[in-house]
Amino acid sequence: MALLDVENLSIDFGVDGRKLPAVSELSFSIGKGEILALVGESGCGKSVTCLSLARLLPSPPAIINGKILFHDGNSRDPLEVLKLKPRELRKLRGGKIAYVFQEPSVSLNPVFRIGNQIEEAIRLHRPELRDTESEVIKLLKQVGIPAPETRINSYPHEMSGGMQQRVMIAMALASSPDLLIADEPTTALDVTIQSQILELLKELRDNTGMTIIIVTHNLGIVSEMADNVIVMYAGHSVESSSVKNVISSPIHPYTKALLSAVPEIGKSVENLCSIRGNVPTPSEFPRGCRFFGRCDLCDALSHEEKSLCETDVPVWREERPGHFCRCHHAGKSLEKGTLS
């Protein structure tokens, strides 16, 4: 059963009298207990999408259209997030949907002890709970912080980056959310701690049945912990399917380029691949396919085929059972510089 349905989501920002598209025509569904990964380079619209799910984008300048339907299980009809009143929205934020961001040192208040900060979340969303200190200790144990009875009195600066991120996860869990959104939660951490945090998130999903959306540009993280994946580029979803399908049989040229850019043990430096250019800003999005200008497949096409990429926006369609893609030439591939 779906927990969240996003239908034709578009996010624009009003700047100097113009509407700049940050996300366009994004649709997806995520089931209960599922881990969904949003993948893409910086500037592809991943974080903006996640912030919109609980209406955390200030409006103006953000202009959000489409539908965000949250199935909380308490009513027959889903909650239409974009139509919720402020009081209903406060219950959703932090209560039903919780966030973990990539910089715990910025998210935590430096002048309050961590125990007090977690207690605040409990009091806000679970006011019926009397013994909040015991609950804080329980949460710190759950996320693997040693000596939690002592650590509740620590300040953020007295903890390592990995421990701070565990505190942020404990704070997110304080309200027993149905959906946890982790926006690049391991970016600021070293490789060993990254692995520990990812394993913790998987354990929490397995033990609580919580749904997780994880934002990342690291395809290694995706293959390790996600069930399904959406590849985003310049505000568009360009490919979506199970992780197995996307990793083993990618269709879109951008997905293939991302995978080819992943370093492999034993691969020589001369063979390391990169994607030329940069993700365009919303004011510079191409008229047709937004990957136009960086796409190696497009460069190998005939003039007529290439002009289609330049002028027409590709349709989001199912190329294989359960495997969606946005590309005019999804059936073609480039092998050693030759079309096949």
**Weakest-pLDDT range from 58-62, 64-68, 102-106, 176-180:** 102-106
Q: Where are the domains of the chain?
A: 104-176, 249-339
- In the chain, % of residues over pLDDT 90: 75
C-alpha distances out from residue 197 to 163, 182, 189, 260, 314, Å? 10, 11, 9, 26, 37
Q: Poorest-confidence range of 49-58, 97-106, 172-181, 182-191?
A: 182-191
Treating both helix axes as pointing N-terminal to C-terminal, what angle do 114-125 and 161-173 enclose, rounded to 10 degrees?
20
In which band, very low, low, confident or very high, does the pLDDT at 193 lie, cut at 50, 70 and 90? Answer: confident
- Pick from 101-115, 232-246, 299-313 the range whose average pLDDT is largest: 232-246
pLDDT at residue 218, rounded to an integer: 86
Q: Mean pLDDT across the stretch 247-269?
A: 85
pLDDT(267) > 80? no
Whole-angstrom Cα distance, residue 257 to residue 15?
Answer: 32
Q: How confident is the model at residue 117 (pLDDT cuts 50, 70, 90)?
A: very high
Task: Note the helical H segments in the chain.
Answer: 46-52, 86-92, 104-107, 114-125, 132-142, 148-151, 161-173, 191-208, 219-225, 243-248, 253-260, 296-299, 303-311
In this predicted structure, the answer to whether residue 110 has a pLDDT above a threshold of 70 is: yes
Identify the residue with better confidence: 113 or 263: 113
Sequence-ordered list of residues with C-beta below 8 angstroms from that of 89, at least 6 positions apart, any chain: 54, 55, 81
Using the predicted structure, report yes or no on whether residue 266 has a pLDDT greater than 70. no
pLDDT, mean over the chain: 91
Tell whether the model's pLDDT for residue 195 goes beyond 70: yes
Residue 150 CA to its chain's centroid (Å): 34
* Maximum Cα interatomic distance, the chain, rounded to a whole number of Å: 70
Q: Report d(CA 315, CA 83) in Å as an integer.
A: 28
Type of residue found at 131: D
Q: How many CA atoms lie within 13 A of 72 on its CB side?
A: 17
Residue 320 pLDDT grade (very low, low, confident, very high; cuts 50, 70, 90): very high
Residue 272 pLDDT grade (very low, low, confident, very high; cuts 50, 70, 90)? confident
- Residues 293-317 have a mean pLDDT of 93
* Predicted TM-score of the model (pTM): 0.92
CB 139 within 8 Å of CB 118: yes
Is 316's pLDDT higher than 90? yes
Q: DSSP assignment, residue 301?
A: S
Q: What is the pLDDT of residues 25-82, one digit of tens each?
A: 999 999 999 999 999 999 999 999 999 999 999 988 999 999 999 998 777 789 999 9
Pairing of strands 35-39, 228-233: parallel
- Which band of pLDDT confidence, cut at 50, 70 and 90, is reported for residue 337? low
Arithmetic mean of pLDDT, 266-282: 81
Q: Average pLDDT, stretch 197-208?
A: 92
Predicted confidence band of residue 94 (pLDDT cuts 50, 70, 90): confident
What CA–CA distance (Å, rounded) separates 20 from 35?
30
